[in-house]
Structures are given as structure tokens and as C-alpha cells.
Chains A and B, each alone.
Chain A
Amino acid sequence: MRELFILAFFFIIISCQGQNKQLLYNVSWLPQTLMSNPGANITFDRHFGVPFLSQVHVSAGSTTANLHDIFEDSDADINERVTATIRRLTNKDHFMVNEQLEIVSLGWRLNKEHYLSMGVYQEMDMFAYFPKDPAVLVNEGNNDYINLPFDFSDLAFTGEILTVYHLGLNKKINPWLTVGARGKLYSGIFNVESTNNSGVFITRDTPEGPNYYRHFAENIDIRVNTSGYASLKGDGQSVQESTKDLLKRSFFGGNFGAGIDLGATYAYRENLIFTASVQDIGIMLQRSDVENYTYRGSYQTDGIEPLFPDVDENGKTIPYWDIFEDEVDKNLKDKTLNESYVTWRPRKINASVEYGYGKIFSPCDYRRPDNRRHKSRVGLQMFGIHRPKTFNMAMSVYYDSKVTKTLRLKVAYTVDDYSFTNLGFLISKNFKNFNAYLAADNIFGYLNLAKSQSASIQLGMQFIVTK
């Protein structure tokens, strides 16, 4: 059993590495750790978050570009900087904005082995790959790119705003193994996705052809799915009506879905602990207020061909342009549809190995199922998140220490797609049963946010009872 678990753990480590809320992962004294690993080892017996304030999380990242790249205070032409930045970016570069707000969070120990937790949070997640080829076409045109294709598969983005209702159970199987699961119901407020686009636009040099060039739009297949957008795009709805509509959607008045988190913690030895979890194995059915925009087809042209003379046999002027437009519309079809679609939530995987050292502390209460914990811990954590075209990963090493009976600190160094210098810290302070915490990533980035490619902050306050 132990060997099997270790094998499974290392399989996860090999197949994914990553970045995310690493500062809140494996933090056994904070309820938020259950949100990234429902099978975490926890040291508390009851918690109740201050509504809307138990966790505020905001993060943003850009893999290559930052504000300074464009707006550097110098005499250089800003448009040359824009062009240079666009040329430097690739279609694998991406931008991300994520926000989470815990509305309700509570939990309590059912018995020695079980801890039940539940809550509601709102999440916004926006993710876009850099649309390299369309961006170059718009910024520079095709003049310097004759015979080179502009690939529309570079266009890939997702965005969603939803409310999540969740219920989780943490179960201690034996002194070495803790497992957990969290069921989630998603209430969709807004969704947009455009992920499987294809087709190229190319202008070919045609020295033997009828004109200088021939323009090709080949196998264009672009689709943008939206839900919760059509009713808001200005059909006379007032701000009050829109707000009422959005609130209704938060309570399953719009689209919905379901998902699950799974996690486990395994103590190989008292001071060597392995963890792993998967989050948001979930699906959303987008069926309400849906609008899809599609553009499909193939077409090629050398230009418009007048026939001489410019009147037909009936003496009427030949409408060459109208004929050309009809031909384009016939071959490249632009449609707006109302078709339901399915989206998958961005799945996340966490895994860690942690080594404890220093003074051991343990509860006197025999009812507490918690393993004895060392004062200080160092660990290695991997995180991966599934995005439309890639699996984005990060790896962190961390040091976690109980500074005083009521103060804990965690410091983490993370390597991810956004930064190689991401040093973050978590500070958590208990005032009797009241807890406040602050976690900030990439603290060097705060010295000059213009040069930072990522920033992430989590803070919250709650009541935590430990018997």
C-alpha cells in the first residue's frame, strides 16, 4: 500500500509541475488549505469565516510582457516598443487574471476521523494565449509577410464568472493516511470561450498568376461561445435590471454544473509527508442565454475582374463589387447561433513532499486525530493547471515555521511560467480564536510592479477553534 502510494505520488510529480496558491497549500492550521486539498491534515476543530472576508484572492500574470516593456520612460518610439513586444511574444505566451471571494466558509469536526466543511465562493477566471499571428496582421499588416501564413489557431481564450457552492469531507483513515473529497455545484454568471479555432490567411506572391498576389483564406473555422452575455449587451436593460439578473444567476438562475475535488495526505514517516490533490474535475452546461458567433469557409481572390465594357447586354452597369461581396459571403459564412455548449473547469493538480524537523508539538487532547507536527517544515510542491492548449506548471520550495504559539510564517520560492524570481510569504496570526492571514507572491515584483510579470495576493480573516 505504502509503495503503491509513493509510486502514484511520483507519477503525479513527473507528469505535472506548476504554480498557484502555493502559500495556502499544506497550511494545516488554515481552513483554506482544504480548498486546495480536501484530504489535508488539519489541526483545527471548527472554523467560521467572516462573510466575504475569509478569503480574498487576486492574481494576475503575463508570461513574457510587462508594463515596462511598453511604457518605459525613455525617448524611444512607443509604437516600435509595441511592435518589438508583439514580435517577441509567441502563441504559447499567455495572460491570466483570477479572482476568488469567499462569501461563506464554515466547518466542524464530526468526530475523531471526520471534518465537514462547506461554503460559497465567487470566482472569475480569465485566460488568453497571445494571438500572435492575428496580432501581427493587425499591427503590421501583410506587407512584410508575403507567402507567410497568419494562423487563426493562435486565437484561444476562456473567461468565466461563477458562484461555487461546495461541501467537503475530510477523513482520517489511519494515523498515516488522510483522504478527502469536495463536491461542488457551479452556478454560471458569465462564460466566454474560443479555443478550437483554425484556418490561415495568406497572401502569396504569384509571378505567373493573373495579379501580383493571390489572397487565400483557407479552412477558416472560428467560433466564439458565450453564455450570459447576449442579454446584457445593451437591449435597453437598466443597471438595476442587469444587477438583478446577475444576482439571480448566482443562485442557479443561469447555467450550472458540477465538479469534485479529491485529495490525500500520507505520512511515510512522522517527519516525511506526501500530499496530492486534484481540483475542479468539473463540467458546466451552458444552456441559458447562449450566443455563438461563427466564421467558417475558404476563399481565394486575385482581385476584381472587369469585363469591358462596363454594361451588360441589357445596357445595365455590371455591379462588380456586389458580385465580389456575394461571392465572399457565400464562401466565408458569418453566423450567430444559439447552441448550447459544454465547458470544463480548468483542472488543477497539486502534489508535495514535506520534511519536518525541530521541536515536535502535539495536542494533549486524545480526541485530536492530528499527527504530531514539527516546529519547522520544508517542502517541495508542484502545481499544474489545465488550460486550452497547454498544461501550465509550477514548482515551489517552501519553509514553514511556527514562530510563536499564535504566529506562523511560510516562505516559498516558486518557478513558473511567469517568473523565476517569485519569492512569496504567508503570515498568519491568531488572536485567541480569531485568525487573520496575508499571503503575497512575487514580493520582489512589488518593488516595481511595472517590471513584474505576475502578482498574487490572498488575505482573509476567520474564527478558528482548536480544542
Chain B
Amino acid sequence: MFSTKKSLRLVFLLLLLMGVTSCVKDVDLSKAEEISLQPDMQVDLLIFEVTEQDFIDFGTNQARTVIRDTVRLEFLDDDYIQNDLEEVELSFKYINSFPQQFKSSISFLSESDRKQYQVDFDVDPGNKNNPVPTEWIEYIDNSNIGAIKRSIKMVVELEVLPNAQEFSGTLNFQSKGLFSFQF
């Protein structure tokens, strides 16, 4: 049988064993500072479909070769964009059934309408029976991301390059952004 003294010693030894052997090892908790969330978000941006009617000026009822529209992208001003956006891959796609070529100019403007970033490319002509897709991918890396962060508006400008064929058809526009963050 154990004596009280031996019992106490056993309790003490067990507590000591737990105290001495319990530890946190093989870990580096300072790495906590390196932890970041890095989501890549695919986000639809603008869509539209224009026909020859959209190239008629409402005021004068005259045909025009250039049309444009501006959309405010208020989320570009949010903290998660301003502080944590690392890079963006913008994708634009036109599907053209007009037999004419278009010049597409997509601009990102600041609040004071100063141009921060611009993407220009030509849209191939198609025909009603065989609409032609034109796709453009614009990669904006971290060194240029400030241009997007300073922007708040996206302007799409289309200029038709007239030719001998009848100006009739539809032009569909699709766009998305792959936003890469590091929180």
C-alpha cells in the first residue's frame, strides 16, 4: 500500500511531468503575419447589344459613327479594392453580325474624368448568318493596378468603320474581370 507521503509524491510527479513535458514545438507562430487570403473572383462587368438603331442620334435623327456610354463602377472605390486588389485580368468579347468593322475603346476614368487606363482593339466584321466573335484579354499586373484603383467609371466607345455594305446587324458585348486579391 502507498503511504500518504508516497501518494503526495506521485501527485506531485504527475503534475510536474505534465508541466515539464507539455509544450508547443515544431511550429513557428511568427508565420501568422504571413497569412493572407488570396481569392480570385470572376465577376461579370458590362453587357450590351447594339443595332443600327443605336447609331441614330435621338436629337438630330442623323446617323453617327461613334456611340459611347459610361457606367460608374462604384465598387472600385471600396476598401477591399483600394487596399487588397493585386491584379486584374479583363476579358472582352464582341460578337458582330454587322458587315462593318468597329473600333472599340474601353476606358477607365477617375472621378474627374481623367483617363487612367485604356484598352483599344478592332472588332472584326461578320454577317447576319455568321456572326464573328472578337475576344480581347487585358492583363493588368500589380505595377499598373493603381490605374484601376484610381478609376471609378468605365466608358465603352464604339466607332463603326463604314464600307459599301448595308449597315445592319447586331453587336453583342460581353465583359468580365478576374480580380485577384490578397487580404
- As a 0/1 sequence over residues 1 to 37 of chain B, the CB contacts with chain A under 8 angstroms (1 = contact) are 1111001101100110010011111111101101111
Q: Judge if B83 is at the interface, Cβ distance under 8 Å.
A: no
Q: Judge if B42 is at the interface, Cβ distance under 8 Å.
A: yes
Bound-state Cα–Cα, A302 to B91, Å: 14
Chain A residues closer than 8 Å to B119, beta-carbon distance: none
Within 8 Å by CB of B47, from A303, A321, A440, A451, lies A303
Q: Judge if A174 is at the interface, Cβ distance under 8 Å.
A: no
In the complex, the answer to whether A72 meets B15 with C-beta atoms within 8 Å is: no
Chain A residues closer than 8 Å to B91, beta-carbon distance: 212
Within 8 Å by CB of A449, from B22, B54, B156, lies B22
Of the listed stretches B64-72, B124-132, B140-148, name the one at the interface; the rest are far from the partner chain: B64-72
Nearest A-chain residue to B57, judged by Cβ: A309
Q: Judge if B40 is at the interface, Cβ distance under 8 Å.
A: yes
Chain B residues closer than 8 Å to A341, beta-carbon distance: none
In the complex, the answer to whether B39 meets A306 with C-beta atoms within 8 Å is: no
Chain B residues closer than 8 Å to A450, beta-carbon distance: 24-27
In the complex, the answer to whether B27 meets A79 with C-beta atoms within 8 Å is: no
Chain A residues closer than 8 Å to B103, beta-carbon distance: none
- As a 0/1 sequence over residues 198 to 215 of chain A, the CB contacts with chain B under 8 angstroms (1 = contact) are 000001000000111111
Bound-state Cα–Cα, A395 to B26, Å: 31
Chain A residues closer than 8 Å to B18, beta-carbon distance: 440, 443, 446
In the complex, the answer to whether A321 meets B174 with C-beta atoms within 8 Å is: no
Bound-state Cα–Cα, A73 to B176, Å: 40
Bound-state Cα–Cα, A268 to B174, Å: 77
In the complex, the answer to whether B45 meets A304 with C-beta atoms within 8 Å is: yes
Q: Judge if B101 is at the interface, Cβ distance under 8 Å.
A: no
Bound-state Cα–Cα, A301 to B46, Å: 11
In the complex, the answer to whether A448 meets B2 with C-beta atoms within 8 Å is: no
In the complex, the answer to whether B50 meets A308 with C-beta atoms within 8 Å is: yes
Chain B residues closer than 8 Å to A210, beta-carbon distance: 47, 49, 172, 174
Within 8 Å by CB of A68, from B2, B26, B43, B49, lies B26
Nearest B-chain residue to A310, judged by Cβ: B69
Q: How far is the CB of B51 from chain A (nearest CB, A)?
A: 10
Once A141-B42, A404-B2, A450-B25 are accepted as A-B contacts, the answer to whether A78 and B37 lie under 8 Å apart by CB is: no
Chain A residues closer than 8 Å to B74, beta-carbon distance: 321, 325
Bound-state Cα–Cα, A240 to B92, Å: 59
Number of interface residues of B (CB under 8 A): 58
Chain A residues closer than 8 Å to B1, beta-carbon distance: 403-404
Q: Judge if B161 is at the interface, Cβ distance under 8 Å.
A: no
Chain B residues closer than 8 Å to A403, beta-carbon distance: 1-2, 7
Q: Judge if A3 is at the interface, Cβ distance under 8 Å.
A: no
Bound-state Cα–Cα, A325 to B77, Å: 15
Q: Judge if A429 is at the interface, Cβ distance under 8 Å.
A: yes
Chain B residues closer than 8 Å to A141, beta-carbon distance: 39-42, 181
In the complex, the answer to whether B42 meets A404 with C-beta atoms within 8 Å is: no
Q: How large is the interface on A (under 10, 10 to 19, 20 to 34, 35 or more residues)?
A: 35 or more
- As a 0/1 sequence over residues 305 to 322 of chain A, the CB contacts with chain B under 8 angstroms (1 = contact) are 111111001000101110
In the complex, the answer to whether A214 meets B44 with C-beta atoms within 8 Å is: yes
In the complex, the answer to whether A304 meets B7 with C-beta atoms within 8 Å is: no
Within 8 Å by CB of A306, from B4, B24, B156, B174, lies B156
Q: Judge if B175 is at the interface, Cβ distance under 8 Å.
A: yes
Counting chain B CB atoms within 10 Å of each CB, the highest count among A143, A146, A214 belongs to: A143
Chain A residues closer than 8 Å to B22, beta-carbon distance: 446-447, 449
Within 8 Å by CB of B174, from A70, A137, A211, lies A211
Once A68-B26, A210-B174, A429-B11 are accepted as A-B contacts, the answer to whether A140 and B69 lie under 8 Å apart by CB is: no
Report A59-79 residues with CB < 8 Å from chain B CB: 67-68, 70-73, 78-79
Bound-state Cα–Cα, A252 to B93, Å: 65
In the complex, the answer to whether B73 meets A427 with C-beta atoms within 8 Å is: no
Once A68-B26, A448-B26 are accepted as A-B contacts, the answer to whether A306 and B46 lie under 8 Å apart by CB is: yes
In the complex, the answer to whether A71 meets B7 with C-beta atoms within 8 Å is: no
Chain A residues closer than 8 Å to B70, beta-carbon distance: 306, 310, 317
Q: Judge if B81 is at the interface, Cβ distance under 8 Å.
A: no
Bound-state Cα–Cα, A406 to B6, Å: 12
Q: How far is the CB of B17 from chain A (nearest CB, A)?
A: 9
In the complex, the answer to whether B178 meets A143 with C-beta atoms within 8 Å is: yes
Q: How far is the CB of A302 from chain B (nearest CB, A)?
A: 6
Nearest B-chain residue to A144, judged by Cβ: B40
In the complex, the answer to whether A301 meets B44 with C-beta atoms within 8 Å is: yes
Report B73-95 residues with CB < 8 Å from chain A CB: 73-74, 91, 93
Q: How far is the CB of B95 from chain A (nearest CB, A)?
A: 10
In the complex, the answer to whether B39 meets A215 with C-beta atoms within 8 Å is: no
Chain B residues closer than 8 Å to A139, beta-carbon distance: 37-39
Q: How far is the CB of A187 from chain B (nearest CB, A)?
A: 34
Chain B residues closer than 8 Å to A305, beta-carbon distance: 46-48
Chain A residues closer than 8 Å to B37, beta-carbon distance: 138-139
Give 9 new A-B contacts, CB below 8 A, not counting A210-B174, A309-B69: A73-B26, A73-B28, A79-B38, A215-B43, A215-B44, A301-B44, A303-B47, A306-B156, A450-B27
Instruction: Please provide the 6 A-B residue pairs with the shortest distance between their CB atoms, ordered closest to farther.
Output: A141-B39, A303-B44, A446-B22, A143-B40, A306-B69, A310-B69
Listed by A's residue number, 15 A-B pairs whose Cβ atoms lie within 8 Å are: A78-B35, A79-B38, A139-B38, A141-B40, A210-B47, A212-B91, A213-B44, A214-B44, A215-B43, A307-B69, A321-B74, A403-B1, A440-B18, A446-B21, A447-B23
Enumerate chain B interface residues (CB-CB to A < 8 A): 1-4, 7-8, 10-11, 14-15, 18, 21-29, 31-32, 34-50, 54, 58, 67-74, 91, 93, 156, 172, 174-176, 178, 181
